[in-house]
Structure 1
């Protein structure tokens, strides 16, 4: 297994309250399985994340493996119980990813939730956001945490998985729940929503791409995004809007990483 990396980003978004510091740890794309991403491995990731002493922990989806034909998936309660050991004063919060929907045949059949992955997280006390915004306070400053549902949730053709995919995300409805001008941190598993995100949002946090999983000279030959390398990895700034795309922790399609090691993200705002 490639050595775990901690990617540290420090930024002060436009209109961020003076003197307000927020320390966020992000885990994305775990893809739990019995091979490289088993319970002992997840436990080590959790211990490393806790050692960073975050104010809040955000989980950005794809807890389930998309490689079940080659490797056995972990039982949902096993990986969820490991993630339940994450600790932060403001709690642990999650969104779902496309694989959490795609691998759930019952959710696909009824064209909606609940999902097995979502239930597993909720059962261990981790809140799952599906187009929802919730207000928090730290050191006398308020902020909003918003979480979108997957933009690639429902498959219309199981034989051709990426054709006719339907999203369940509702950006406008999610942001409409924010009732004041305090800053917003947005969780969105897939980064392709970013062009639609208004400047009102302080930072958008995404996973999904694995940084392309193979990366040479800051480019990847294949990225699961309609924007290619534009939102493949790292800190992107457009028109004073911030996006951070995690390289993630697990594998998809092939158990291969080159130039983009598995990572935990530490993001310091303010």
Structure 2
């Protein structure tokens, strides 16, 4: 696990450094700064952008307010670089191809006699229209990158949405028609999700009037010191009075933070934790089975057996509709033949979606956000409430899901 983290941070650091150098050189050219100023700017930006990663990788202790400021500034600059680079690289690539074609077309016929070398003339102090437009594009790209990053960090990550999700569930008894499950996922309690954000979550859940509250993993970001804050949050959720209480499952970040601390705080708060286990919701007048599996990635990260669906189903009531809680939606193809509905998170809906949604390109299962159907089963993927990595959201607002079950 430690080796994997070291490799990850090394790759991220090298990639970000190269992109910072590229973007600052292009921005310096557009602003007509000299090479020395460009190098100074690149060095300063690299130090600021990598600071949050180095603090986490080395475990460097610092006051929370310092950590918050450093991380917000560093991630905002890093996001500015990523978005700017995404706009500049295609532009520069197309420009290089166009220049290559132009030179190829202007190449003299090799059969002609060599002409005397032309006398070089000093460059004109004025710039051409093409160069002016190029400088304007570079400046605009950096401006768009910076403004998008600032919006995502300052506003987007708190642009909370309650999604109304009607789900017709096959086999659901009429007596449970309208049963409301409120789903929270990927809260990531930590540096960026504290009392202020959790108070907003409580208000949103209260307004959704749940019969059951479920939390589908990644509840603590990575620091076990925040497990107590999660426990206080879970207790407040329980005090909202949902008739079937609060149920939670773990996610991969809960293992990174320390699974015993995270789950211990939940249980102490009265939350029912399902790890390859099942309970029955309802009574003789109507019921469904609520299943919860362990994190799919747990074995990959050296943390036990992970999701065990057969063992979970064996603990569920027979002949009742099955609602599965599973943090990672990549499990859905395996679960679909055996459940009626799966509730997941993990993807954050891509979290930062500028022009395109990169998650569509890197997640092969394709379950990124929202409602999907496979083999007659359904899955709803919650975009998450908090953030991982950059404390920003663009095009993927933080979500509380209000899932209303109806008789199919």
Whether these two folds match at TM > 0.5 is yes
5 Å-filtered alignment, 1:29-108, equals: 29-35=186-192, 37-66=193-222, 75-86=226-237, 87=240, 88-104=242-258
5 Å-filtered alignment, 1:144-183, equals: 144-154=289-299, 156=301, 168-183=306-321
| 1:86-123 C-alpha deviation (Å, 9 max, x unpaired) | 1310110000100000222xxxxxxxxx6210001001
**Inter-partner Cα distance in structure 1 for 2:402 and 2:361:** 23
1:26 aligns with 2:183: yes
1:166 Cα offset (Å): 6.8
**Inter-partner Cα distance in structure 2 for 1:80 and 1:50:** 18
Which structure dedicates a bigger proportion of its chain to strand?
1
TM-score relative to the length of structure 1 = 0.83
The answer to whether the Cα contact below 8 Å between 1:24 and 1:55 also exists between their aligned partners in 2 is yes
Question: Judging changes above 3 Å, is the alpha-carbon distance between structure 1 residues 186 and 27 closer, same or farther for their aligned structure 2 residues?
Answer: same
Question: Judging changes above 3 Å, is the alpha-carbon distance between structure 1 residues 238 and 32 closer, same or farther for their aligned structure 2 residues?
Answer: same
5 Å-filtered alignment, 1:1-270, equals: 1-21=157-177, 22-35=179-192, 37-66=193-222, 75-86=226-237, 87=240, 88-104=242-258, 115-137=260-282, 140-154=285-299, 156=301, 168-215=306-353, 220-222=357-359, 226-228=363-365, 230-270=366-406
Which structure dedicates a bigger proportion of its chain to helix?
2
Structure 1 gaps, min length 5: 105-113, 157-163
Whose relative contact order is higher, 1 or 2, with alpha carbons under 8 Å and at least 6 apart? 1
Q: Which moved more, 1:170-179 or 1:115-124?
A: 170-179
Larger Rg: 2
The answer to whether the Cα contact below 8 Å between 1:190 and 1:207 also exists between their aligned partners in 2 is yes
1:2 Cα offset (Å): 2.8
Structure 2 gaps, min length 5: 1-156
**Inter-partner Cα distance in structure 2 for 1:224 and 1:149:** 26
TM-score relative to the length of structure 2 = 0.56
The answer to whether the Cα contact below 8 Å between 1:152 and 1:167 also exists between their aligned partners in 2 is no
Question: Judging changes above 3 Å, is the alpha-carbon distance between structure 1 residues 117 and 220 closer, same or farther for their aligned structure 2 residues?
Answer: same
1:49 Cα offset (Å): 0.3
1:154 Cα offset (Å): 4.5
The answer to whether the Cα contact below 8 Å between 2:170 and 2:321 also exists between their aligned partners in 1 is no
The answer to whether the Cα contact below 8 Å between 1:14 and 1:240 also exists between their aligned partners in 2 is no
- For the aligned residues, what is the CA RMSD? 2.3
Question: Judging changes above 3 Å, is the alpha-carbon distance between structure 1 residues 40 and 227 closer, same or farther for their aligned structure 2 residues?
Answer: same
**Inter-partner Cα distance in structure 1 for 2:173 and 2:387:** 37
1:34 Cα offset (Å): 3.3
Question: Judging changes above 3 Å, is the alpha-carbon distance between structure 1 residues 43 and 139 closer, same or farther for their aligned structure 2 residues?
Answer: farther
The answer to whether the Cα contact below 8 Å between 2:217 and 2:248 also exists between their aligned partners in 1 is yes
Secondary structure of the corresponding residue to residue 401 of structure 2: strand
Secondary structure of the corresponding residue to residue 213 of structure 2: strand
1:47 Cα offset (Å): 1.9
The answer to whether the Cα contact below 8 Å between 2:291 and 2:312 also exists between their aligned partners in 1 is yes
Question: Judging changes above 3 Å, is the alpha-carbon distance between structure 1 residues 138 and 47 closer, same or farther for their aligned structure 2 residues?
Answer: farther
**Inter-partner Cα distance in structure 2 for 1:99 and 1:23:** 27
The answer to whether the Cα contact below 8 Å between 1:183 and 1:200 also exists between their aligned partners in 2 is no
Match of 1:108 in 2: none
- Count of residues in Structure 1 that have an aligned counterpart in Structure 2: 246
